[in-house]
């Protein structure tokens, strides 16, 4: 290769070192794994794994897993017994007596076994990544996990080709971004998912998970493998789980619901919009949906049960029985008060439906109409007739056409006597027309 | 379930749900069946058809019996793969990465890409060859089929693609009909199937090894396991999945059986010699009639397109999954650059090589067969380690007897593969 420069010409990239580690320096897990472990001047084994306490923000290494030279057994060596290390190996303060029986304390994660090469969720970027390496910080005598490496350079390093590839790239294109960019994700944004991970860590990052947008969370769940998916889903708070469940594909909904205990599954179903919950229950075997309905709050269960009797692709199957209801005699300011009271349980607040004492639809008005109206004006005067009320059997296609024709955001569903059963919103219709 | 009388049930349009339970069983079958049958049929791709044709043309009915143990070994291996897919919910490349690390994964993936690129070349050669029989020149057929493959994958949804694939499986019946049209001597067929004989000559041994190698291929394990994971088959439904695998393996080898038989009854009897599946279809015309010949060519076309649609895409998926790169046709090009690059490269190189005049195609396919051969022992050993791992498989890990049988079969397959490599490299 022409023009290959001497390595000394530029500073070594992070992670490649030739001198013993200084205080406050970074190194990669892959540099340590496989190193000989030397005690009392004698080689006693090789490093297999690091056990880190995951309860802190940045897990501290508490012990080593060592495969012994004699017999090839796995043993544990406490971090306190480690004197230091360099490229030649890890030096212990004492000899073979430092080897203790293998055990994993609670809150400890075996890093090589449960994090390296596994899938994690990057809660900052809302993405699923595979861990190529772990970036460790050595400071004040402690070794802590600082970042996970998810970049291409990490792969190259694991192959043991970093020097070669670096030299090649530097020869061809000295300014290549490859040489400078490490794709590192800070541990505080990392959600490990190995089934055996201690729960401590998960509690810490729960808040981060709940902060991810439901649509992103759904995509993460779809990208993960089944076991990791179940681990993640079980750890989500009920509300986040319900929101994410509304967003994922139907096949996945069933799988995820199965991952939960029946009680929690019922809680999640209650939290979901009733029409989505009904769609999901309709796809389950009859015994299962009956069991879940029995676990749910009676009121919510009744609502969902009623929706279950309609065809999924009809207005009845798509409608949500919870919608903004107003009485005709209210003033605009009273109406606004009523909206505020109901808002907590209702997903879409664009339109309010005016329902008489007999339960029949008398008219419709938008939240905007209420806000811009004089506070004392009556709902009866503000409302207008809805142009396209639906029957429960109307097909999704027809509903979409009506919504497009009249520019409607929501359409009421009436029974034969004119009583309002629920409201269909365009988001549900779009989903059916696009994917149905 | 306590149901209130449904207001809408009286109308016919709302009758879907009440029928659900009646259909549940059927739906369950449809949601589990597929991967095993498809995988096993793709196994009879252009290369497979060539191998079976040559076995029949050169050795008559004498090697038919080998298909029985080959089928058993295929079922053994595929069952393990399917079980791993159902229990772990992960693809084989993920499992290898998580258990054996980056280095093993890299070399396995490298060999897989080389082997599957060679296989893809063979599939497009099958497309070219079969359509040349019908008078379509390859510079027309190959680009069009390559375009169709791209389109099918980019535009088709998983469900549509699977249905097309299942339909393609039905067309393999062409070989059964061609076998009957060839009017074999059924007495000799029975003798060849039931009485194991093996002439101890170099060519005969090579043939047997090639038969094994073409039937039990590394890529199938990756494909089957991913397809099962993709289907989301649950552990409770595993018996159905196993049925899917067993039926697929048997059907595949029945097709192989009839290909051998058709060529044995005609080309072997007439003392002909063939090198490719296209030769076989051409040789059948004067011997078994134009219908048998056309059916044979049609079967080859079907099989080649089928495999050409699956190999490039699936290979790309395994590689991306193993290294944690974004993958999937629902991703944009700048979101998943490695995925699109590798997929396009597989198709462009695979189809493009056919159009380069004077390229030694048979040598390229031989190289891919060698890559397959080198890869198979590693894959099998990895699979056995994974399938026997209690931490991973729990109570679904290989039991003692299955373990012993599987290791013995693997040892035998490795031995045969080494023999094949040795024979191939020697000339």
Q: Determine the distance in angstroms separating the CA of A392 from the nearest CA of chain B, rounded to an integer.
A: 7
Query: What mean pLDDT do residues B102-119 have?
Result: 89
Strands, DSSP E only, in B329-385? none
Tell me which chain B residues have a C-beta less than 8 angstroms from the C-beta of A306.
Answer: 4
* B37 or B19, higher pLDDT: B37
Q: Per the CB < 8 Å rule, is B89 touching A227?
A: yes
Query: What Cα–Cα distance (Å) separates residue B13 from each residue in A250, A394, A421?
Result: 22, 9, 18
Query: What mean pLDDT do residues A291-307 have?
Result: 85
- Which pair of structure tokens corresponds to residue B353? 């090589």
Q: Contact at 8 Å (CB) between A192 and A115?
A: yes
Same domain, A219 and A287: yes
Strands, DSSP E only, in A238-299? none
Domain count, chain A: 3
User: Would you say residue A14 has pLDDT above 60?
Assistant: no
Tell me which chain A residues have a C-beta less than 8 angstroms from the C-beta of B229.
Answer: 225-226
Query: What Cα–Cα distance (Å) separates residue A101 from each residue in A296, B16, B79, B304?
Result: 48, 61, 38, 57
How much is the pLDDT for B78? Answer: 92
How much is the pLDDT for A196? Answer: 56
Residue at B22 is within a domain: no
Residue at A317 is within a domain: no
Question: What are the φ/ψ torsions at residue B252 (nearest 5 degrees)?
Answer: -55, -45
A82-104 pLDDT, tens per residue? 888 888 889 888 888 888 888 88
CATH number assigned to the domain comprising residue A415: 3.10.580.10
| CA-derived radius of gyration, chain B | 22
Per-residue confidence band for B4, with pLDDT thresholds at 50, 70 and 90: very low
Q: Contact at 8 Å (CB) between B34 and B162?
A: yes
CATH number assigned to the domain comprising residue A293: 1.25.60.10
| Spatial separation of the C-alpha atoms in residues A60 and A141, rounded to whole Å | 10
* A224 or A24, higher pLDDT: A224
Per-residue confidence band for B210, with pLDDT thresholds at 50, 70 and 90: confident
| Residue B159 at interface with chain A, using a CB cutoff of 8 Å | no
User: Would you say residue B71 has pLDDT above 90?
Assistant: yes
Per-residue confidence band for B382, with pLDDT thresholds at 50, 70 and 90: very high
Query: Residue A78 pairs with which residues in a beta bridge?
Result: A63
| CA-derived radius of gyration, chain A | 30
| Residue B407 at interface with chain A, using a CB cutoff of 8 Å | no
Share of chain A above pLDDT 70, in %: 91
Query: What mean pLDDT do residues B7-33 have?
Result: 43
Same domain, A276 and A424: no
CATH number assigned to the domain comprising residue A120: 2.30.30.240
Domain with A304 in it: 212-309
Residue at B407 is within a domain: yes
| Spatial separation of the C-alpha atoms in residues A91 and A42, rounded to whole Å | 9
Query: What mean pLDDT do residues B261-281 have?
Result: 82
How much is the pLDDT for A47? Answer: 92
User: Would you say residue B198 has pLDDT above 90?
Assistant: no
User: Would you say residue B407 has pLDDT above 90?
Assistant: yes
CATH number assigned to the domain comprising residue B330: 1.20.1740.10
Tell me which chain B residues have a C-beta less than 8 angstroms from the C-beta of A132.
Answer: 102, 324
Output b/e per residue, B216-238; b: 16+ Cβ within 10 A.
bbbbbbbbbbbbbbbbbbbeebb
Residue at B3 is within a domain: no
* Secondary structure (3-state) at B392: helix
The residue among A309, A337, A366 that closes a domain is A309
Query: What Cα–Cα distance (Å) separates residue A122 from each residue in A98, A111, A147, A149, B189?
Result: 37, 17, 11, 11, 61
Tell me which chain B residues have a C-beta less than 8 angstroms from the C-beta of A129.
Answer: 324
By CB atoms closer than 10 A (0-12, 13-18, 19+), residue B419 is middle
Q: Determine the distance in angstroms separating the CA of B187 from the nearest CA of chain A, rounded to an integer.
A: 51
| Residue A435 at interface with chain B, using a CB cutoff of 8 Å | no
Same domain, A418 and A341: yes
User: Would you say residue B83 has pLDDT above 90?
Assistant: yes
How much is the pLDDT for A23? Answer: 58
| Spatial separation of the C-alpha atoms in residues A185 and A146, rounded to whole Å | 9
Q: Contact at 8 Å (CB) between A34 and A150?
A: no
| Residue A314 at interface with chain B, using a CB cutoff of 8 Å | yes
Same domain, A298 and A374: no
| Spatial separation of the C-alpha atoms in residues A317 and A319, rounded to whole Å | 6
Tell me which chain B residues have a C-beta less than 8 angstroms from the C-beta of A309.
Answer: 3-4, 6-9, 14, 17
Q: Per the CB < 8 Å rule, is B1 touching A290?
A: yes
| Spatial separation of the C-alpha atoms in residues B58 and B181, rounded to whole Å | 20
Cα angle at B169 between B163 and B170, to 5 degrees? 100
User: Would you say residue B246 has pLDDT above 90?
Assistant: yes
Same domain, A75 and A149: yes
Q: Per the CB < 8 Å rule, is A258 touching B234?
A: yes
Residue at B5 is within a domain: no
* Secondary structure (3-state) at B55: helix
- Which pair of structure tokens corresponds to residue A135? 């970036």
Domain with B287 in it: 33-426
Residue at A140 is within a domain: yes
Which residue of A lies nearest to B324 if distances are taken between CA atoms?
A130
Model-level pTM? 0.75
Of A313-327, B217-231, B274-288, B406-420, the range with the lowest mean pLDDT is B274-288
**Helix H or strand E encompassing B346:** helix B337-355
Of B91, B102, B318, which to mutate for an interface test with A (greatest number of A Cβ within 10 Å)? Answer: B102
Same domain, A261 and A381: no
- Which pair of structure tokens corresponds to residue A225? 């493998």
Per-residue confidence band for B370, with pLDDT thresholds at 50, 70 and 90: confident
Kindly provide the ipTM of the predicted complex, given to two decimals. Answer: 0.73
What average pLDDT is seen over chain A? Answer: 82
| Spatial separation of the C-alpha atoms in residues B338 and B318, rounded to whole Å | 12
Domain count, chain B: 1
Q: Contact at 8 Å (CB) between B144 and B308?
A: no
Question: What are the φ/ψ torsions at residue A115 (nearest 5 degrees)?
Answer: -120, -50
Query: What mean pLDDT do residues B9-25 have?
Result: 37
Q: Contact at 8 Å (CB) between B350 and B308?
A: yes
Q: Determine the distance in angstroms separating the CA of A367 from the nearest CA of chain B, rounded to an integer.
A: 32
Which residue of B lies nearest to A307 if distances are taken between CA atoms?
B6
How much is the pLDDT for A17? Answer: 40
* Secondary structure (3-state) at B210: helix
Interface A–B counts its CB contacts (< 8 A) at 94
DSSP state of B1: -
Instruction: Work out whether strand A325-326 and strand A190-192 pair parallel, antiparallel, or are unpaired.
Output: unpaired
**Helix H or strand E encompassing A129:** strand A127-130
* A172 or B287, higher pLDDT: A172
Query: What mean pLDDT do residues A52-74 have?
Result: 85
Q: Per the CB < 8 Å rule, is B17 touching A309?
A: yes
The residue among A185, A203, A228 that closes a domain is A185
Q: Quote helix, strand, coil % in chain A, to nearest 5.
A: 40, 25, 35
| Spatial separation of the C-alpha atoms in residues B91 and A102, rounded to whole Å | 31
Q: What residues of chain A, 48 to 107, have a C-beta less than 8 Å from chain B? A: none
Q: Contact at 8 Å (CB) between B40 and B249?
A: yes
Query: What mean pLDDT do residues A214-243 have?
Result: 85
> Which of A160, A305, A309 is nearest residue B9 as measured by Cβ atoms?
A309
A305-317 pLDDT, tens per residue? 888 888 878 888 8
Q: Per the CB < 8 Å rule, is B24 touching A251?
A: no
The three-state (H, E, C) secondary structure of B125-162, written as one string: HHHHHHHHHCCCCHHHHHHHHHHHHHHHHHHCCHHHHH
Of A305, A310, A413, which to mutate for an interface test with B (greatest number of B Cβ within 10 Å)? Answer: A310
| Residue B12 at interface with chain A, using a CB cutoff of 8 Å | no
Per-residue confidence band for B135, with pLDDT thresholds at 50, 70 and 90: confident
Share of chain B above pLDDT 90, in %: 13
| Spatial separation of the C-alpha atoms in residues B50 and A290, rounded to whole Å | 55
Q: Contact at 8 Å (CB) between B327 and B316?
A: yes
How much is the pLDDT for B399? Answer: 85
Residue at A66 is within a domain: yes
How much is the pLDDT for B157? Answer: 67
| Spatial separation of the C-alpha atoms in residues A134 and A149, rounded to whole Å | 6
Q: Per the CB < 8 Å rule, is A226 touching B90?
A: yes
Q: Contact at 8 Å (CB) between A160 and A33?
A: no
Q: Determine the distance in angstroms separating the CA of B15 from the nearest CA of chain A, rounded to an integer.
A: 7
Among the listed residues A402, A314, A154, the one whose alpha carbon sits nearest the alpha carbon of residue B325: A154
Same domain, A294 and A358: no
> Which of B16, B21, B97 is nearest residue A312 as measured by Cβ atoms?
B16
Q: Per the CB < 8 Å rule, is B90 touching A227?
A: yes
Of B93, B231, B324, which to mutate for an interface test with A (greatest number of A Cβ within 10 Å)? Answer: B324
How much is the pLDDT for A50? Answer: 92
Q: Contact at 8 Å (CB) between B239 and B30?
A: no
| Spatial separation of the C-alpha atoms in residues B401 and B408, rounded to whole Å | 11
Residue at B124 is within a domain: yes
| Spatial separation of the C-alpha atoms in residues A298 and B2, rounded to whole Å | 12
Same domain, A345 and A286: no
Query: What Cα–Cα distance (Å) separates residue B72 from each residue in A40, B81, B148, B341?
Result: 56, 14, 35, 38
How much is the pLDDT for A195? Answer: 57
Residue at A109 is within a domain: yes
Q: What residues of chain A, 102 to 141, have a C-beta less than 8 Å from chain B? A: 117-119, 129-132
Query: Residue A122 pairs with which residues in a beta bridge?
Result: A127, A190
How much is the pLDDT for A16? Answer: 41
- Which pair of structure tokens corresponds to residue B154? 């980019």
Same domain, A153 and A90: yes
Of B1, B18, B87, which to mutate for an interface test with A (greatest number of A Cβ within 10 Å)? Answer: B1
A115-144 pLDDT, tens per residue? 898 888 888 888 888 899 999 998 888 899
Per-residue confidence band for A7, with pLDDT thresholds at 50, 70 and 90: very low
Q: Per the CB < 8 Å rule, is A159 touching B88?
A: no
* A225 or B96, higher pLDDT: B96
Tell me which chain A residues have a C-beta less than 8 angstroms from the C-beta of B14.
Answer: 309-311, 314, 316, 392-393
Q: Per the CB < 8 Å rule, is B15 touching A282?
A: no
Residue at A204 is within a domain: no
How much is the pLDDT for B50? Answer: 86
Q: Per the CB < 8 Å rule, is A311 touching B4?
A: no
Which residues are CB-neighbours of B163 under 8 A, at least 6 positions away? none
Per-residue confidence band for B33, with pLDDT thresholds at 50, 70 and 90: low
Residues found in chain B? 427
Among the listed residues A325, A303, A326, A327, the one whose alpha carbon sits nearest the alpha carbon of residue A316: A303
């Amino acid at each position: 290769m022409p023009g290959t420069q001497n390595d000394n010409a530029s500073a070594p990239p992070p992670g490649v070192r030739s001198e013993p580690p200084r205080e406050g320096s970074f190194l990669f897990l892959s540099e340590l794994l496989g190193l000989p472990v030397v005690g009392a001047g004698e080689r006693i084994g090789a490093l297999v794994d690091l056990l880190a306490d995951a309860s802190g923000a940045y897990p501290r290494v508490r012990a080593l897993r060592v495969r012994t030279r004699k017999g090839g057994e796995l043993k544990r060596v406490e971090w306190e017994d480690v004197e230091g290390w360099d490229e030649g190996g890890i030096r212990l303060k004492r000899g073979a007596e430092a080897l203790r029986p293998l055990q994993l304390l609670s809150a400890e994660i075996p890093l090589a076994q449960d994090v390296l090469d596994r899938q994690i969720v990057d809660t900052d970027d809302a993405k699923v990544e595979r861990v190529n390496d772990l970036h460790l910080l050595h400071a004040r005598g402690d070794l802590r996990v600082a970042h996970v490496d998810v970049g291409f350079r990490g792969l190259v390093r694991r192959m043991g080709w970093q020097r070669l590839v670096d030299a090649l790239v530097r020869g061809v294109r000295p300014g290549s971004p490859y040489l400078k960019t490490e794709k590192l994700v800070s541990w505080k944004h990392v959600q490990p998912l190995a089934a055996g991970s201690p729960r401590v860590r998960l509690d810490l990052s729960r808040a981060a998970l709940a902060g991810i947008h439901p649509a992103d969370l759904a995509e993460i769940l779809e990208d993960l493998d089944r076991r990791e998916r179940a681990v993640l889903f079980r750890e989500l708070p009920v509300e986040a789980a319900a929101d994410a469940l509304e967003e994922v594909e139907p096949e996945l909904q069933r799988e995820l619901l199965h991952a939960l205990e029946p009680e929690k599954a019922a809680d999640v179903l209650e939290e979901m919009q009733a029409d989505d919950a009904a769609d999901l229950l309709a796809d389950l075997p009859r015994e299962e949906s009956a069991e879940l309905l029995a676990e749910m709050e009676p009121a919510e269960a009744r609502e969902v049960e009623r929706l279950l009797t309609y065809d999924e692709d009809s207005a009845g199957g798509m409608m949500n029985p919870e919608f903004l209801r107003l009485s005709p005699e209210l003033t605009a300011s009273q109406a606004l008060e009523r909206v505020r009271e109901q808002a907590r349980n209702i997903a879409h607040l664009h339109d309010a439906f005016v329902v008489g004492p007999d339960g029949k639809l008398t008219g419709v008005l938008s939240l905007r109409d209420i806000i811009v109206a004089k506070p004392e004006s009556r709902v009866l005067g503000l409302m207008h007739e809805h142009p396209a009320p639906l029957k429960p059997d109307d097909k999704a296609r027809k509903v979409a056409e009506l919504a497009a024709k009249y520019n409607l955001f929501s359409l009421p569903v009436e029974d034969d006597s004119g009583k309002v059963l629920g409201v269909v919103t365009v988001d549900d219709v779009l989903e059916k027309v696009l994917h149905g | 379930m306590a149901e209130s009388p449904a207001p809408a049930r009286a109308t016919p349009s709302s009758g879907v749900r009440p029928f659900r339970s009646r259909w549940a069983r059927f739906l369950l079958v449809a949601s589990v069946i597929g991967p095993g049958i498809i995988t096993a049929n793709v196994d009879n791709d252009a290369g497979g058809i060539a191998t079976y044709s040559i076995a029949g043309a050169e050795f008559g009915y004498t090697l038919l019996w080998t298909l029985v143990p080959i089928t058993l070994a295929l079922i053994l291996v595929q069952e393990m793969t399917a079980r791993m897919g159902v229990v772990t919910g992960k693809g084989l490349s993920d499992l290898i990465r998580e258990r054996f690390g980056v280095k093993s994964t890299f070399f396995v993936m490298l060999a897989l890409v080389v082997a599957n690129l060679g296989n893809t070349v063979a599939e497009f050669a099958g497309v070219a060859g079969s359509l040349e029989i019908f008078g379509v020149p390859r510079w027309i057929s190959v680009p069009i089929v390559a375009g169709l493959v791209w389109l099918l994958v980019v535009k088709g949804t998983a469900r549509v693609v699977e249905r097309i694939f299942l339909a393609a499986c039905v067309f393999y019946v062409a070989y059964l009909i061609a076998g009957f049209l060839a009017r074999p001597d059924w007495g000799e067929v029975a003798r060849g199937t039931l009485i194991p004989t093996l002439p101890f000559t170099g060519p005969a041994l090579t043939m047997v090894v090639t038969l094994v190698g073409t039937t039990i291929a590394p890529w199938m394990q990756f494909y089957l396991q991913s397809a099962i994971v993709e289907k989301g088959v649950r552990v409770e439904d595993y018996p159905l999945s196993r049925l899917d695998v067993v039926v697929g393996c048997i059907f595949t080898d029945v097709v192989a059986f009839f290909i051998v038989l058709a060529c044995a009854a005609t080309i072997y009897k007439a003392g002909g010699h063939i090198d490719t599946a296209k030769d076989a279809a051409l040789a059948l015309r004067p011997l078994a009639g134009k219908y048998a010949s056309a059916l044979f060519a049609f079967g080859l076309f079907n099989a080649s397109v089928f495999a050409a649609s699956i190999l490039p895409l699936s290979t790309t998926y395994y590689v991306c999954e193993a290294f944690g790169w974004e993958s999937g046709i629902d991703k944009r090009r700048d979101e998943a650059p490695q995925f699109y690059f590798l997929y396009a490269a597989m198709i462009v190189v695979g189809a493009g090589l056919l159009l380069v005049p004077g390229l030694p195609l048979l040598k390229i396919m031989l190289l891919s067969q060698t890559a397959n051969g080198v890869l198979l022992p590693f894959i099998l050993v990895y699979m056995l380690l994974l399938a026997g791992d209690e931490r991973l498989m729990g109570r679904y890990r290989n039991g003692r007897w299955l373990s012993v049988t599987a290791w013995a079969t693997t040892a035998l397959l490795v031995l045969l593969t080494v023999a094949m490599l040795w024979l191939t490299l020697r000339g």
